[in-house]
């Protein structure tokens, strides 16, 4: 009887069930569970890979944003250094205008020592401005350009093309590639034209 008991197990109703018969049902259930677990693991892996890809993308974008920020700050710093003395130069221009008027008055007396001294100072001022990136805007005889010229009046002139600058009332200047002060000019108009 013990040998029979070794080959059969008691089922809950007192029926004897052979040993291999219960395992087949369990194996199928286990395989189904394994398949579900494998599917869940692959889905979880795909989700993790998607998240990793997303985080890598965000990290690359953040790095690119930081690089762009650094470049912009560097460019702004360079521009600030180039144009830092703009206010000083703007204040210097009226002094230069007055000096030019004095120089014109001194030219009335030829050979004057005052004239020679003023011409030397004028050259120094021009050199100073040039060394700081300030250049005079060409105006007389040029076509009127509202970007760098400011028309203070118009005059009828038969021998000058309409829209050309006849005279410069106050010189204009550029600070490197930026307008420091527009030139005040008188612009030619046709003799029969309206004012």
Phi, psi for 139 (deg, rounded to 5)? -135, -55
Task: Tell me the pairing of strands 149-156 and 183-189.
Answer: parallel
- Tell me the Ramachandran region of residue 18: left when phi exceeds 0, alpha when psi lies from -120 to 50, beta otherwise: beta
Whether residue 64 is predicted with pLDDT greater than 90 in this model: the reply is yes
Residue 68 tokens, joined: 């762009």
How much is the pLDDT for 24?
Answer: 55
Q: Please enumerate in sequence order all residues whose Cβ is within 8 A of that of 179, keeping only pairs 6 or more positions apart, or say none.
A: 147, 148, 172
pTM of the model: 0.56
Location of structure tokens 């013990």: 2
Q: Which segments within 15-142 are labelled E, that is strand?
A: 16-18, 134-136
Whether residue 143 is predicted with pLDDT greater than 60 in this model: the reply is yes
Residues 49, 45: Cα–Cα separation, whole Å: 6
Q: Which residue has better confidence, 166 or 84?
A: 166
Whether residue 2 is predicted with pLDDT greater than 50 in this model: the reply is no
Q: Which segments within 118-177 are labelled E, that is strand?
A: 134-136, 149-156, 165-170, 173-175
Whether residue 8 is predicted with pLDDT greater than 50 in this model: the reply is no
- In this prediction, residues 161-184 reach a mean pLDDT of 92
Report whether 160 contacts 184 (CB < 8 A): no
Considering the chain, what is the average pLDDT of its residues?
81
Report whether 133 contacts 176 (CB < 8 A): yes
Report whether 139 contacts 183 (CB < 8 A): yes
Listed residue (129, 147, 140) closest to 171, CA to CA: 140
Whether residue 116 is predicted with pLDDT greater than 50 in this model: the reply is yes
How much is the pLDDT for 63?
Answer: 94
């Amino acid at each position: 009887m013990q040998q029979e008991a070794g080959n059969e197990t008691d089922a809950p109703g007192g029926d004897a069930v052979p040993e291999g018969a219960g395992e087949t049902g369990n194996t199928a259930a286990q395989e189904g569970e394994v398949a579900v677990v494998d599917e869940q693991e692959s889905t979880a892996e795909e989700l993790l890979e998607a998240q990793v890809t997303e985080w890598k993308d965000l990290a690359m974008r953040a790095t690119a944003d930081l690089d762009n920020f650094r470049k912009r700050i560097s460019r702004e710093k360079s521009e600030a250094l180039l144009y830092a003395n703009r206010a000083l130069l703007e204040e210097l221009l009226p002094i230069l205008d007055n000096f030019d008027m004095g120089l014109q008055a001194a030219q009335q007396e030829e050979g004057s020592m005052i004239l020679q001294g003023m011409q030397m100072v004028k050259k120094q001022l021009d050199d100073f401005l040039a060394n700081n990136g300030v250049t005079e805007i060409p105006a007389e005889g040029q076509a009127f350009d509202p970007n760098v010229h400011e028309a203070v009046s118009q005059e009828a002139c038969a021998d000058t093309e309409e829209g050309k600058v006849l005279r410069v009332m106050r010189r204009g200047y550029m600070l490197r590639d930026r307008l420091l002060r527009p030139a005040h000019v008188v612009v030619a108009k046709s003799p029969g034209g309206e004012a």
